A and B are shown apart, each in its own frame.
Chain A
Amino acid sequence: MEKLRNSDTLKIISYILIPFLMLAIILGAIYIEYNSYNKEDLARGDYYKTDSFVYNEYYPNIQRIFRICSSIDEGIREQGEYYNSFVDNYVLVQETPTRIYYSQTYRSYYNGFNYIIIDESGTIFTNIQTENYNAKIEEMKNSEYYWYKENSTITSNLEQINDKGLAYNYGLENLKDTKNSKFSIYTAFDKEQPVTLKYRVNVAIYNFIANVGNMPIFAMSYSILMLFIIAVYLIWAIGHKKNKEGIYLSNFDNFSYGIIFIVVSIVIATFMTIGRECLANIDIFTLVIALISYLICYIACAVIGITTIKRLKARSFIKTTLTYKTCKWIKKKVKETSNLILWNKEITTKLIIYYISFLVISLFLIVATATTMGFCVILLLIFWALVLYLMLNYAKQLNNIKQNLKSIYEGKQEIKIETTNLEKNLKEMAEYINSLSLGLTKAVEESLKSERMKTQLITNVSHDIKTPLTSIINYVDLLKKEEMPNEKVKEYLRILDNKSQRLKRLTEDLVEASKATSGNIKLNIENINLKELIKQISGEFEDKFNEKNLELILQIPKEAVQIKADSRYLYRVIENMYTNIMKYALEGSRVYVDILKNNEKVQIELKNISKAKLNIKAEELMQRFVRGDTSRNTEGSGLGLSIAESLTKLQGGNFSIHLDGDLFKVVIEFIIK
């Protein structure tokens, strides 16, 4: 298959075969035409008696003679001389007993057509030279093809133009009219005489068709089939070459199609005309020229056909047409000009220019519609549709940018807006957004990385602190069990014990806080009953609250409150809050813990009265190492709220602090799922 496709030989054979096949088809067509229109002619068995010969050759000659006759009449009237007829140049060859005018030029023109005209005075006009004209007339009357008029009688052995033929043959009025003229006219056709190839070809075709039978029809059918196969093969194979992948395109195939088309059209038109002209007056020389002309036409057709198929197959047809190139060029120029006008202008200015252009073009088209009887209304509608399309397209692009901006706003950092097809202004905008997003992504990555490194650092440092701390705690503990020399030492030891314990907690909280804020925690999200959790933690803290004389009031819905969270970390958050309350609530006050539930959200509200004055903002409280009492005297690391907030956010919740006088309120919010 591949070999067949790439074979040059096969293609060349195909190209050579095509003209022969077409010739066969043309001959077949001629045959069919002949057979259907010239049945009577074929029945006559003699080409020179056929309608086509008589009407096309013989009868025009007779008409010419009529014209000569009328010229002779006028010549008498105006000049008194016969030899200066406008039709033929007659030469007076004999004065007496009768005047005889002979025309040489006419001779060669008629090709075997002989005539003798005798006017009322007996003067002879002829294209034959002979001694005895009477004998010649007799000979003509007995020749194979003759037509003559004596007095007002027409005699002919050609049935189309004899008296009988005239009776029913429409279009021979000329002949009828001249029946009564004063001239006697003798004509005869001598088929031995003609030298023109045309006659011989016609006779040959006539004889061929009359004798050949059905053969041309078969030949034509086979040729059509063959031509079809070759066409399919060529369409399939054109463009493929040995050792070449895909469609092979030469420079010519990339050359402007329009120009090729015009050149080829001119060539074909020229040579077709030449060929046709040559065939009209056929002889050996013109036949050769005609053949060459048609061959050139064929080559031109082949050339444009091959390149068209190649271009269509390579899908480069539209791109290489001159129209496309012109359109592209115009588009580029328009863009350049508009850029020149609109460059660096404000969007408003551009908009005004666009709007004015729109109005002007619309107005122009409306006026044009009025003057061209509504023809331009289509153009107007197309223009409006185009404007609408452009506007919608613009809106679509704008919307796309908006969507992307929104997703950046919603926290998705990796945004890349496709800018290739955007309008210039929007493109600029999209590029700004892209680089903004890129910067944002980088910044987030950097900060995440640095948070991770911080966590790592804190974890490592805490390991290193813990080892000596272990010794401190242990030996302080051991010391406590020893006999102390006095109360003072005991007091010092108590402080040491206290502070070493606090250092221990601080290192632990530090690691946890850094993990929570950097998100370096693996969550195990499951269904949790918030009601259960609050009860459990309340139970854990009951004794401690009692010690501080705090009354815990729970307001919890009767039904279960299910949320999705990590049970351990949610416990850490609430536990942190309880610990805070235990530490900072005013002794003897009431503590409220409410679970508020609506359709979408559940809120845990923890409210207590602060022991110390809260001269601090809620936001500041949540920062690391900030505590309600600025003196920092109480125990605790100052990381509790920060850890709680981070852990809540990691679990998808919301953590907020509200201060109102001494009322300290924490609201932890989760979405019910």
Chain B
Amino acid sequence: MYNILVCDDDKEIVNAIAIYLSKEGYNILKAYNGKEALKLIENNEIHLIILDIMMPEMDGMEVANEVRKTKSIPILMLSAKSEDYDKVAGLNNGADDYVTKPFNPIELIARVNSQIRRYTRLGTIADKEDENKNIFKTGELIINDDIKQATVEGKEIKLTPTEYNILKFLTKNKGKVYSIEQIYENVWDDEPYGADNIIAVHIRHIREKIEINPKEPKYLKVIWGIGYKIEKID
């Protein structure tokens, strides 16, 4: 039973989030401004904080700053502010994730699950398997080439052989950008052929399988007009 603190000055939003997350089996604590949130954090064992930015008395940024002084609880910011610089400011102020309003409940749940898993699972299996040359890893994305298996945050992902090869190739060379042609040459055994966008289609499919929100991917990034890459996450 994990405790999640939801803090927003809009009571209906807090309640809606509470309903969704309760169904997932979390215990929800509610706060309607920054000060209440800090008090609850003080007195309870909290595993995740969902925090609105624009609030009376004390805003989300200040709360995040305050929490970060003593605790490493994951903070997920939830805000109507959707500009890039808002997101950057939030993440710089101690947030671990940033979701814009209006949010997709499924995405929110997935992100909450992901953060909880990361926070609660200490000493991941990856640590000891790092030495295995056939295991490729970035963040929570792990590819075990021995058993031809890909997992994200512990969940196995079902991939076609081509998708698996592409993902393996990109993960092996994480952080580097490859154009469609380069991926062809490295993944296909044969010469590149006809259908120009077949790789692009595969990539989209992979993204839909491994990402929480395929439009804002965490692992498989699209650099438009240049190519694709797997983000290097330590």
**Contact surface of A with B, Cβ cutoff 8 Å:** 459, 462-464, 466-467, 469-475, 477-478, 504, 508, 511, 528-530, 532-533, 535-540, 542-543, 554, 556, 565, 567-568, 570-571
Cβ–Cβ < 8 Å partners of A471 in chain B: 10, 12-13, 16
Cβ–Cβ < 8 Å partners of A542 in chain B: 197, 200-201, 204
Cβ 8 A contact of B197, one of A472, A474, A538: A538
Beta-carbon nearest neighbor of A475 in chain B = B16
A539 adjacent to B199 (CB under 8 Å): yes
Least distance between B84 CB and chain A CB atoms (Å): 9
A565–B100 Cα distance when bound, in Å, is 27
What are 7 residue pairs bridging A and B, where the CB atoms are less than 8 Å apart in the complex? A466-B102, A471-B10, A528-B226, A532-B225, A536-B197, A538-B197, A565-B225
A532 adjacent to B227 (CB under 8 Å): yes
B window 1-30: CB within 8 A of A? 10, 12-13, 16-17, 19-20
Question: Quick check: is B193 within 8 A (CB to CB) of the other chain?
Answer: no
A535–B201 Cα distance when bound, in Å, is 9
Cβ 8 A contact of A532, one of B20, B83, B179, B204: B179
B204 adjacent to A478 (CB under 8 Å): no
Cβ 8 A contact of B196, one of A472, A474, A478, A554: A554
Least distance between A11 CB and chain B CB atoms (Å): 75
10 more CB-based (< 8 A) A-B contacts, given A459-B83, A466-B80, A469-B102: A474-B16, A474-B17, A475-B16, A535-B200, A538-B196, A538-B200, A539-B198, A542-B197, A542-B204, A570-B224
The 9 closest A-B pairs by CB, nearest first: A539-B200, A528-B225, A571-B224, A533-B225, A474-B16, A466-B80, A538-B197, A539-B197, A470-B102
> Which has the most chain B C-beta neighbours within 10 Å: A471, A538, A567, A570?
A471
Q: A463-B80, A540-B200 are in contact. Are A470 and B13 (CB under 8 A)?
A: yes
B window 92-149: CB within 8 A of A? 100-103, 105
Q: A528-B224, A532-B225, A535-B180 are in contact. Are A467 and B13 (CB under 8 A)?
A: yes
A536 adjacent to B82 (CB under 8 Å): no
Q: A470-B103, A475-B16, A540-B204 are in contact. Are A567 and B224 (CB under 8 A)?
A: yes
A570 adjacent to B16 (CB under 8 Å): no
A508 adjacent to B16 (CB under 8 Å): no
A539–B207 Cα distance when bound, in Å, is 12
Beta-carbon nearest neighbor of B202 in chain A = A539
Q: A466-B102, A542-B201 are in contact. Are A533 and B224 (CB under 8 A)?
A: yes
Cβ 8 A contact of B203, one of A472, A504, A539, A568: A539
A536 adjacent to B198 (CB under 8 Å): no
Cβ–Cβ < 8 Å partners of B227 in chain A: 532
A535 adjacent to B196 (CB under 8 Å): yes
A436–B199 Cα distance when bound, in Å, is 56
A567 adjacent to B102 (CB under 8 Å): no
Beta-carbon nearest neighbor of B103 in chain A = A470
A470 adjacent to B101 (CB under 8 Å): yes
Question: Quick check: is B222 within 8 A (CB to CB) of the other chain?
Answer: yes
B window 183-234: CB within 8 A of A? 196-204, 222-228
A532 adjacent to B102 (CB under 8 Å): no
A475–B19 Cα distance when bound, in Å, is 10
Beta-carbon nearest neighbor of A512 in chain B = B82
Question: Quick check: is B158 within 8 A (CB to CB) of the other chain?
Answer: no
A556–B228 Cα distance when bound, in Å, is 20
A536–B198 Cα distance when bound, in Å, is 9
A240–B46 Cα distance when bound, in Å, is 89
Cβ–Cβ < 8 Å partners of B228 in chain A: 536
Beta-carbon nearest neighbor of A462 in chain B = B80
Cβ–Cβ < 8 Å partners of B199 in chain A: 535, 539
Cβ–Cβ < 8 Å partners of B202 in chain A: 539
Least distance between B187 CB and chain A CB atoms (Å): 14
**Majority secondary structure, A binding face:** helix
Cβ–Cβ < 8 Å partners of A565 in chain B: 225
A475 adjacent to B204 (CB under 8 Å): no
Q: Which bucket holds chain B's interface residue count?
A: 35 or more
Cβ 8 A contact of B180, one of A462, A464, A528, A532: A532
A459–B54 Cα distance when bound, in Å, is 14
Question: Quick check: is B81 within 8 A (CB to CB) of the other chain?
Answer: yes
Least distance between B180 CB and chain A CB atoms (Å): 5
A281–B71 Cα distance when bound, in Å, is 124
Beta-carbon nearest neighbor of B12 in chain A = A471
A537–B103 Cα distance when bound, in Å, is 25
Cβ–Cβ < 8 Å partners of A528 in chain B: 224-226
Q: A471-B10, A570-B224 are in contact. Are A478 and B197 (CB under 8 A)?
A: no
B225 adjacent to A529 (CB under 8 Å): yes
Cβ 8 A contact of B82, one of A467, A508, A530: A508
A114–B67 Cα distance when bound, in Å, is 141
A410–B103 Cα distance when bound, in Å, is 45
Beta-carbon nearest neighbor of B16 in chain A = A474
Cβ–Cβ < 8 Å partners of A543 in chain B: 201, 204
Least distance between B35 CB and chain A CB atoms (Å): 20
A477 adjacent to B201 (CB under 8 Å): no
Cβ–Cβ < 8 Å partners of B20 in chain A: 474, 478
A473–B200 Cα distance when bound, in Å, is 32
Cβ 8 A contact of B105, one of A477, A539, A554: A477
Q: A570-B225, A571-B224 are in contact. Are A535 and B13 (CB under 8 A)?
A: no
Cβ–Cβ < 8 Å partners of A567 in chain B: 223-226
Cβ–Cβ < 8 Å partners of A570 in chain B: 224-225
A408–B81 Cα distance when bound, in Å, is 39
A535–B226 Cα distance when bound, in Å, is 10
Beta-carbon nearest neighbor of B80 in chain A = A466
Cβ–Cβ < 8 Å partners of B226 in chain A: 528-529, 532, 567
B19 adjacent to A478 (CB under 8 Å): yes
Beta-carbon nearest neighbor of A504 in chain B = B102
B105 adjacent to A467 (CB under 8 Å): no
A540–B208 Cα distance when bound, in Å, is 11
A524–B16 Cα distance when bound, in Å, is 39
Cβ–Cβ < 8 Å partners of A511 in chain B: 82
A466–B200 Cα distance when bound, in Å, is 33
Cβ 8 A contact of A529, one of B12, B102, B179, B204: B179
Beta-carbon nearest neighbor of B81 in chain A = A463
A467–B222 Cα distance when bound, in Å, is 30
B window 41-89: CB within 8 A of A? 54, 80-83
A24–B33 Cα distance when bound, in Å, is 109
A543–B200 Cα distance when bound, in Å, is 11
Cβ–Cβ < 8 Å partners of B179 in chain A: 529, 532
B225 adjacent to A539 (CB under 8 Å): no
Cβ 8 A contact of B16, one of A478, A539, A568, A571: A478
Least distance between A489 CB and chain B CB atoms (Å): 19
Least distance between A580 CB and chain B CB atoms (Å): 18
A537–B224 Cα distance when bound, in Å, is 8
A554 adjacent to B225 (CB under 8 Å): no
Beta-carbon nearest neighbor of B181 in chain A = A532
Least distance between B131 CB and chain A CB atoms (Å): 36
B159-195 CB mask vs A (1 if < 8 Å, else 0) is: 0000000000000000000011000000000000000
Cβ–Cβ < 8 Å partners of B54 in chain A: 463
Beta-carbon nearest neighbor of B196 in chain A = A535
Cβ–Cβ < 8 Å partners of B201 in chain A: 539, 542-543
Least distance between A249 CB and chain B CB atoms (Å): 65
Beta-carbon nearest neighbor of B23 in chain A = A481
Cβ–Cβ < 8 Å partners of A504 in chain B: 102
Q: A474-B16, A539-B204 are in contact. Are A530 and B225 (CB under 8 A)?
A: yes
Least distance between B66 CB and chain A CB atoms (Å): 23
A542–B179 Cα distance when bound, in Å, is 18
Beta-carbon nearest neighbor of A478 in chain B = B19
A556 adjacent to B10 (CB under 8 Å): no
A536 adjacent to B222 (CB under 8 Å): yes
Cβ 8 A contact of B224, one of A462, A475, A554, A568: A568
Beta-carbon nearest neighbor of A477 in chain B = B105
A475–B15 Cα distance when bound, in Å, is 10
A399–B144 Cα distance when bound, in Å, is 74
Cβ–Cβ < 8 Å partners of A532 in chain B: 179-180, 225-227
Least distance between A666 CB and chain B CB atoms (Å): 18
